[in-house]
Chain A
Amino acid sequence: MNRSLQKTGKALCTLCALLLLHASYAQSDADAIMMNKKQLCNGFSYDHASWDHYWEGTRKRNNENLGTVTNQSIMYMGAYGITDKLNITATLPYIWTKASAGTLHPLNGLQDGSLFIKWIPVSHKFGEHKLRLFAMGGISTPLSNYAVDFLPMSIGLGSTNLTARGMVDYNWNRFTVTGAASFIWRSNVTLDKDAYYDTQAHLTNEVKMPHATQYQLRTGYRGKYLIAEALLTRQTTLGGFDITRNNSPFPSNRFNSTNIGLYLKYTLKPFTNLSLQGGGNYTVAGRNVGQTKAFNLGVFYAFYTGKK
């Protein structure tokens, strides 16, 4: 490690300490894949998520006045290596929502952009075994003035989120296990209307959003060209209330979910700048969320912005 990198490390620690106190939350970027110094990888992914059953509190139901609710998004994603051990990532999604039944108007718009810093403070090799610790922090915030109180058609929840995430990545040959824990601090959100009822009346347009945690376990194969991982993700809202019987969801509901998923990434052998990404997700348990089936496809281009 050279001198300038040491300095960087110190400065970052200060930042991490801040983010750990008040942390942020981004769309994905929970993986243990790093760009090399001066390497930029960017591209687009298409996401498709739909559900026809949901949990109203803990009660599972369907709704003939919604049918199947579908969210689609096209997201720009970029990751850049400031150093081999310090990356920044950015996402920028455009979202479309629609319901197959009922009269609710489909909506679309630019949702929440995110910016994350990913840092490896500790990295150890024990023969064939490799263990790395990651510290991550980031922010996501709405990039358009979308309406948040028209769920499930609203394109987002409207809060600015700060995420702090710690991650351990273990690697043996091509086999990996990764565990991550995140705390997501969420700002209050503003409604168009100037009063609302959650479990009591509120004479204000401001809604206090409960914070959240996210735990994720990933395991699988991480080769030079192919990455294939299975995912288990548990998201818990620290507070919030259940959707009242036969009512619409509300931004400060207690949204909890357990998802299983698959993540695939393939770098083209003859043309290693290009990689393809795909994956799927399924909600196996939830509270106040849809039982979502989701898949995504992406194409990414990586290159060096200067001398290695």
Chain B
Amino acid sequence: MKKFLSLCIAAGLVLLVSSCSKEIVERTDNTPALNPARPDLNAGTWKPVLLTGPAEFPVAAPLATSNPDYIAQINEIKSWQADLTTAEKRLVKYWSAGAVLRWNEIMRELVAKHNLPPYQNSDGTYPIPNANNPLAYPLFPFSNPPYAARAYAYVSAAQYDALVAAWYYKKLYNRPAPYKVDTTLKVMVPKTDLPSYPSEDAVVAGAAVETLKLLFPGDQEYIQQKAEEQKRAKIISGACVRSDIEAGEALGKAVAQKFVTRARNDRAGAAVGSQPMWTQLETTAQGKGETPWYSLEFPRRPPMLPVFGKVRGFLIDSLGVIALRPGPPPSTGSEQMKKDAAEVREMAKNFSREHQRMVDVWADGVGTYTPAGHWNAIAAEDFIQQNYSEVRWARNMALLNMSQMDAAIVCWDIKYFYFNPRPSQMDPVVKTLTGVPNFPAYVSGHATFSRAAATILGHIIPARAAQYETWAQEAGMSRFFAGIHYRTDCEGGLQVGKNVGNFAVQRALTDGAE
């Protein structure tokens, strides 16, 4: 009796102690301040994505550091620092981890927030989000995987081009950081020999704000608030003066405008298609003697972005996209298809908890930052370890995200060229461990995105290449384990992804950064 009670009390105490740690530390909460191993001073010569050259957008020569106006700006820093609040210190810590990193995280957050398929109308049709009325339901955008991949690419590529220009002007004007001018100035971030005009942080913020205005027009308040906090944090920290910030922000915005103009004309606006086009996809497949894909949702939802394959990519032109199409999947009436379907059925029946774990880890479905976002998270957490300069961070993110956007284009082209059904359509017995995506099966998007990402990231950080490859295989095959893809879809997607990733590697080899 006594023994039992003491046992209970002991168990209670253990639980009490172990349970009190409800606070969660997230993976990048305590990322140290960015302290680049190499400043990449020659990055002004790297090949931009859209700019004709680093000086396409002019940046005026800065004030001399002896100018009273400049001295007033140093005093602004000092007066901020004289009376710092906890919130301000937290902002400095947050933003010192890196501008590209933090904007990448913000972007992923926006994607996850908006990755929700609209609820149906009362007549069984579906409303389409409207960019001109983003705050009315259905909220704009529905950031599904192709939309998200494109968004990541535009923001990242704009940041990269803007930083190439910024590095060019940094070297040209060579205005030192304020703490080099006034050695009494306290500085809350690692010191660097990199000239501070124009501010790389403000360049990244300006490019992000301008591109995100187009991509997430309903979240302007949040985005602007982040940009304001970042600029304030940089001044407070002593990293740069206000005129560094102002010149950087203007440059970032100007460069981003070029990307926004391109985005408005890259055919993504027409990717939704129309009813006659959706019908034609069906009749085309039937004309080939195939069972056409149809939506497994109730009410039947129109296929996701059937014309996304026609969007203008960054790495691969429209003929290149067609050239990357693999041969057809097994005909829906063939013996091979029956065998493939039986394999999925068997898988769905006999899955293990480990299969389920892989499905969950890589599902990246509704309400998440999508597969491209998952690979951004993987990349970001590895880039932190590499101590890249901001411009190299941006270059590597741009390479990754251009590969992801082009993977979406190539994959969506293939999906709608073949328009073949999901396993659960061919065999309703097949139940799935995650939601069935509302578009054709062949080839797997997850496999394509993941292998493309693993290929370019493995080039960027060769020491991690084997790990990326393992993850890509796992991500790709998880869709078969989930019962939403045939093995052929996954293997096909992995191959196409490799081909797409190689385009990014080719660019990496020739952009002057290696």
B-binding residues in A (CB < 8 A): 4, 7-8, 11-12, 14-15, 18-19, 21-22, 64-65, 82, 101-106, 117, 139, 145, 147, 149-150, 160, 162, 185, 187-188, 191-197, 200-204, 206, 208, 244-248
Contacts and interface: CB of A to CB of B under 8 A. Distances in A.
Contacts of B366: 247-248
B5 A8 contact: yes
Contact of B118 (A18, A150, A246): A246
Contacts of B288: none
B26 A64 contact: no
Contacts of B12: 15, 18-19
A65 B15 contact: no
A205 to B, nearest CB: 9
17 contacts: A4-B1, A15-B8, A15-B9, A22-B15, A65-B298, A103-B436, A104-B432, A104-B435, A105-B483, A106-B431, A150-B434, A187-B19, A193-B368, A196-B367, A201-B369, A246-B117, A246-B118
A115 to B, nearest CB: 9
Contact of B8 (A117, A160, A188, A208): A117
Contact of B368 (A117, A188, A197): A197
A191 B113 contact: no
B344 to A, nearest CB: 12
Interface in B364-387: 364, 366-369, 374, 377
A255 B424 CA distance: 32
A22 B367 contact: no
Given A201-B105, A203-B28, A103 B9 contact: no
Given A103-B430, A245-B137, A197 B105 contact: no
Nearest to A137: B12
B323 interface: no
Contact of B367 (A103, A188, A197): A197
B319 to A, nearest CB: 37
B24 interface: yes
Contacts of A150: 356, 360, 433-434
B296 interface: yes
B97 interface: no
Contacts of B339: none
Nearest to B360: A192
Contacts of B353: 145, 147
A163 B118 CA distance: 39
A199 B255 CA distance: 32
Nearest to B381: A203
B51 interface: no
A82 B5 CA distance: 11
Interface string B1-37: 1100110110111011001101011111000000000
A18 B116 contact: no
Nearest to B299: A64
Given A4-B1, A247-B366, A248-B367, A14 B9 contact: yes
Contacts of B348: 105
Interface of B: 1-2, 5-6, 8-9, 11-13, 15-16, 19-20, 22, 24-28, 105, 108-109, 112-113, 116-119, 137, 296-299, 348, 353, 356-357, 360-361, 363-364, 366-369, 374, 377, 424, 430-436, 483
B138 to A, nearest CB: 8
A183 to B, nearest CB: 14
B15 A103 contact: no
Contact of B360 (A12, A82, A191, A247): A191
Contacts of A202: 24, 26
A103 B356 contact: no
Main secondary structure of the interface of A (DSSP, over half): loop
Given A22-B19, A201-B105, A105 B9 contact: no
Contact of B113 (A8, A15, A195, A197): A197
Given A64-B298, A248-B367, A105 B433 contact: yes
B109 A204 contact: no
B116 A244 contact: yes
Given A18-B16, A117-B8, A247-B116, A208 B24 contact: yes
A53 to B, nearest CB: 15
B361 A192 contact: yes
Nearest to A191: B360
A227 B482 CA distance: 48
Q: Which 4 A-B pairs have the closest CB atoms?
A: A192-B360, A64-B298, A201-B109, A197-B112
A191 B361 CA distance: 9
B432 A162 contact: no
A181 B109 CA distance: 39
Contacts of B5: 8, 11-12, 15
A19 B26 CA distance: 29
A244 B367 contact: yes
B322 to A, nearest CB: 32
A9 to B, nearest CB: 11
A82 B1 contact: yes
Nearest to B364: A193
A245 B16 contact: no
B116 A246 contact: yes
Contacts of B299: 64
Which residue, A19, A21, A197, has most C-beta atoms of chain B within 10 A? A197
Contacts of A196: 112, 367-368
B433 A246 contact: no
A63 to B, nearest CB: 9
Contacts of A64: 298-299
A247 B432 contact: no
B13 A18 contact: yes
B361 A193 contact: yes
A193 B367 contact: no
Given A102-B298, A201-B105, A247-B116, 8 more contacts: A12-B5, A15-B12, A18-B16, A103-B435, A103-B436, A192-B357, A193-B364, A204-B24
A192 B116 contact: no
Contacts of A201: 105, 108-109, 112-113, 369
Given A8-B1, A11-B5, A139 B15 contact: yes
Nearest to A243: B367
Nearest to B6: A11
A202 B116 CA distance: 17
A222 B364 CA distance: 53
B368 A195 contact: yes
B297 A65 contact: yes
Given A192-B356, A204-B26, A162 B19 contact: yes
Given A103-B430, A105-B483, A188-B24, A147 B19 contact: no
Contact of A160 (B19, B20, B298): B19
User: Which one of B9, B118, B367, B369 has the greatest number of beta carbons of chain A within 10 Å?
Assistant: B367
B40 to A, nearest CB: 27
B1 A200 contact: no
Contacts of A12: 5
A117 B368 CA distance: 42
A13 B11 CA distance: 15
Contact of B16 (A22, A102, A103, A246): A22
A126 to B, nearest CB: 32
Contacts of B24: 188, 202, 204, 206, 208
Q: Which of B5, B105, B377, B483 has the most CB of A within 10 A?
A: B5
Nearest to B106: A201
Contacts of A101: 298
A187 B11 CA distance: 15
